[in-house]
Structure 1
Amino acid sequence: MERNTPRWRRDLALTACCAAAVAEADRTGDPGRRAARLVDCLGVLRSTHGAGAAAALDMGVLRRGLRQGLAPLLPSGSEDDDLLGGMRLLSKDGLLCDAVEDLGREHLVPQQALMEYWPWARLRAEQEEQQLYAEIRRLPPDDYAKVRELLASDPAAEQGVLWEKWGGLWGRFGFFEPVSSWPWCNAAGWCFPCPVCAWPMRAQSAAGGVFIVSCDAHLLEGVQYTCRPVRGSGPPVLEGGGRSAEQVEGFPAAGDYLAVSRTVWRYLTLPGRMEFAIRDALTGIAGLSVLMYPEGDRYDLRITAAEPLVAKEWRVDAKAWRSFGALADALLERPALGGRVRLTIVVPHRQRSDLPLLQSRLAGRRDFEVMTDKNLVAEVLRWCRRGES
């Protein structure tokens, strides 16, 4: 990436904000080192702004921005300023929000530039995503499709259950981790899978022994609960606080219970559940075929409306990125797919209000179109009814 461009400054500022949030939330380390890390982050953040704006950035502005929204911390000139500006990296209680890890993956300057400020570097999300796919793309097509569906349908379960479902494929990939090593999803010794994506929800301790349990990806859809520990050995009882807070069954945060890593969940499980939901919604419609992972998985689905319907084809690639700005950057770096059919980038319907940003960023690429998963299904069904009329 070329240095000193608006994108370069934005990514460097976001990296500084994420590093500052981690330092601010760390109450266990040496206070002097923690303060030094915050000063270091503030210096990097100031370097991304012009002289006038940099002078206004102090430690108080940094700390407030991490809790109230990143807008005063980010340099101007980015098309996705409004979306990123509203993100909070710390809760009011100083706890890290899930956005820190996702933004750290999705917005990253090159290693050489990053190393000027910190002795570590992280891979950008598109590289991590491609590495995950590379591990399984060497499989025969049937095994590849099976792995993709298992990661989407069963992202958390007891090891014996996973072993039985995966069969001879179990143990070949390091996708799963023991939930006992994840204190962030432990509510009085229990984990609770999200009713939408089936991955363990975050459990944060609140006043009075109450836990707030919610799914980072589906909080906007109302997946949030409260619970209190119960006497005895049973799981806490969740009380739903949102419209999608269906009753879920917990499992012990110990023993042989495993879940896919956050990276796998974000870049394989979440888009995978969209892919299979689209397939299931369009299965059984006369004259319509849905093929998963065609052409060596150059994209996720090929949907074809054939005769006697009016011929039409959709090539679909599902994405579940948190930052549409970073997603747009990654897509624009891709070579053109080629052929007469555009690639349809499908994003979760819950992110529909942010869709204009992605559409405007990709406006110059005629080989892309962008819509939500629900809108794609509706468009295909409308086309089929048109062909039958």
Structure 2
Amino acid sequence: MNGATDDHQFGPMPPWRAVVAATVRAAYAWSKRHEQPGAMREAARMTGVVMAAHGPGKGPVTPAELAEALHRPLGELPCLKDCPETEAAEMILLENGQLTAAVYDLACEYSAPLGEAIGRAAWLPTWTRMRADQIRQEAYTAMIATGRQEDYVASRKFLIEHPAGQFDTLREQLSKEGARLAPYGYEEIPEDQLHRDQNSQAWWFPCPVCRWPMAVTGDLVRCRYRPHSASYRIRRRPASARPALDRVDAGPRIATPKAALAAGARCVNAGIWRFVVVPGAAELRLYRALDKPGVEVQLWPGADSYDLHVKVGRHEYKADLKEYQSIGRLVDHLTTTRPTAEVVLPVTHEHQLSALENAVPHGVRVTTETRFRTRILNLRRRTNP
């Protein structure tokens, strides 16, 4: 198959969604064209998907032309000029031939099936060829294998708290805690998330929020998830010294990450990181803020029917944290899958509240992490004077 697509490959979804998914895969393939033998073939296939959406004589017709277009906002592609999703239309996928952070922000939120033959490129990472819900389901299937709620919670907490580290240590902890992970488990830290010092020794830097290896571009270091906004520069030090970071942005104060040796280290893959670890960091943060005397907090009840069940005296609350970059995608999700709990926007997404309140289906309650936390802790003070 040369990348051409047909109606059944778009399925019931609008064609623009398949185009966005194809451009993400094309961008990844283009960034790996010098390393991965199948990359140019994949870029050609995805160019075919984009060509089919444009129709004859419109849009890029070669992988190189498509790659050039992906250095500009996606909305400039003729077939995406009327894209209803502002976030997708504004995405720039490539910068100097390399993936931008925006790819990781939105890739799986816009993923789409592109046909069985196209989907067989096994070297592609999961986040380029699977939807977010598929990635979550694979991970959760492994975690609920025993059928015991306590095992599920232990496994999920382990994954969120240990997205990277020395593999020998991780294996020992996994065995000790009985945690179960997704089939692909841990893998080597990608080269573009490593810093090599003057002695060619490799180091990685954990994000201070999610603890996954941050991206390294020259001497600049930052988490690929943009809401984890801290940015750093690698400080010049003697060749024998451990690399150190200096903060270069004006964001909230947060502990500066310390460099860790890459030899023997592993991390979860980008799909598990983005759609299990990233939202899990917010879930655990709220859990720990509420886990105080006088407050009963249960994580992921019913193997993740929702995120938190909170009880203060005779008062009970259910919270389901939602961390979407795209408000439109979140509204779609809440429309098709009505939540069984109050929707809570994490601190990084509290700016979405007003727009979301005006767009969610009738009967869906929405609040922020700050407001939910304040409500529970104030109730605790009144109930337990």
TM-score by length of 1: 0.77
Instruction: Classify 1:83/1:3 alpha carbon distance in 2 versus 1 (closer, same or farther; 3 Å).
Output: same
Contact 1:290 1:302 in 2 (8 A): yes
Shift, 1:90, TM fit: 1.0
Contact 1:293 1:300 in 2 (8 A): yes
Root-mean-square deviation (CA), in Å?
Answer: 3.8
Shift, 1:7, TM fit: 4.4
Q: Specify the alignment match of 1:122 in structure 2.
A: 129
Shift, 1:176, TM fit: 4.0
Q: Specify the alignment match of 1:227 in structure 2.
A: 234
The one-letter code of the counterpart of 1:16 is A
Structure 2 Cα separation of the partners of residues 193 and 161 of structure 1: 16
Task: Please show how residues 150-189 of structure 1 align to structure 2 within 5 Å.
Answer: 150-169=158-177, 172-173=180-181, 174=183, 176-179=185-188, 181-188=189-196, 189=202
* Residue 22 (structure 1) aligned with residue 25 (structure 2): no
Instruction: Classify 1:382/1:266 alpha carbon distance in 2 versus 1 (closer, same or farther; 3 Å).
Output: same
Q: Specify the alignment match of 1:291 in structure 2.
A: 298
Structure 1 Cα separation of the partners of residues 171 and 141 of structure 2: 22
Contact 2:74 2:80 in 1 (8 A): no
Shift, 1:381, TM fit: 4.1
Q: Specify the alignment match of 1:364 in structure 2.
A: 361
The one-letter code of the counterpart of 1:343 is A
Structure 2 Cα separation of the partners of residues 141 and 220 of structure 1: 31
Shift, 1:132, TM fit: 0.9
* Residue 304 (structure 1) aligned with residue 311 (structure 2): yes
The one-letter code of the counterpart of 1:45 is V
Q: Specify the alignment match of 2:100 in structure 1.
A: 97
Q: Specify the alignment match of 1:44 in structure 2.
A: 49
Contact 1:240 1:246 in 2 (8 A): no
Instruction: Classify 1:2/1:119 alpha carbon distance in 2 versus 1 (closer, same or farther; 3 Å).
Output: closer
- Comparing 123-132 with 349-358, greater Cα deviation is found at 349-358
* Residue 193 (structure 1) aligned with residue 206 (structure 2): yes
Shift, 1:240, TM fit: 1.0
Instruction: Classify 1:291/1:215 alpha carbon distance in 2 versus 1 (closer, same or farther; 3 Å).
Output: same
Structure 1 Cα separation of the partners of residues 297 and 373 of structure 2: 12
TM-score by length of 2: 0.77
Q: Select which of 231, 239, 262 maps to 1:253.
A: 262
Q: Specify the alignment match of 2:3 in structure 1.
A: none
Contact 1:279 1:290 in 2 (8 A): yes
Q: Specify the alignment match of 2:125 in structure 1.
A: none
CA-to-partner distance for each residue in 1:98-134, whole Å, 9 max, x for gaps? 4435544332333xx5358776593321122122111
Q: Specify the alignment match of 2:369 in structure 1.
A: 373
Shift, 1:358, TM fit: 5.0
CA-to-partner distance for each residue in 1:262-309, whole Å, 9 max, x for gaps? 2222222222221221122122264x43222223431121123434xx
* Residue 12 (structure 1) aligned with residue 8 (structure 2): no
* Residue 137 (structure 1) aligned with residue 141 (structure 2): no
Contact 1:83 1:354 in 2 (8 A): no
Instruction: Classify 1:314/1:3 alpha carbon distance in 2 versus 1 (closer, same or farther; 3 Å).
Output: farther
Structure 2 Cα separation of the partners of residues 88 and 159 of structure 1: 34
Shift, 1:65, TM fit: 4.5
Q: Specify the alignment match of 1:346 in structure 2.
A: 344
Structure 1 Cα separation of the partners of residues 355 and 115 of structure 2: 27
Structure 2 Cα separation of the partners of residues 76 and 127 of structure 1: 29
**Structure 1 vs Structure 2: percent identity of aligned residues?**
25
Structure 1 Cα separation of the partners of residues 140 and 278 of structure 2: 14
Q: Specify the alignment match of 1:72 in structure 2.
A: 76
Structure 2 Cα separation of the partners of residues 167 and 26 of structure 1: 35
Instruction: Classify 1:4/1:236 alpha carbon distance in 2 versus 1 (closer, same or farther; 3 Å).
Output: closer
Structure 2 Cα separation of the partners of residues 86 and 191 of structure 1: 30
Aligned length: 362
Q: Specify the alignment match of 1:208 in structure 2.
A: none
Q: Which runs of 5+ in 1 are unaligned?
A: 206-210
Structure 2 Cα separation of the partners of residues 171 and 385 of structure 1: 36
Structure 2 Cα separation of the partners of residues 47 and 359 of structure 1: 37
Shift, 1:193, TM fit: 0.5
Shift, 1:89, TM fit: 0.8
Q: Which runs of 5+ in 2 are unaligned?
A: 1-6, 122-127, 197-201
Instruction: Classify 1:349/1:160 alpha carbon distance in 2 versus 1 (closer, same or farther; 3 Å).
Output: same
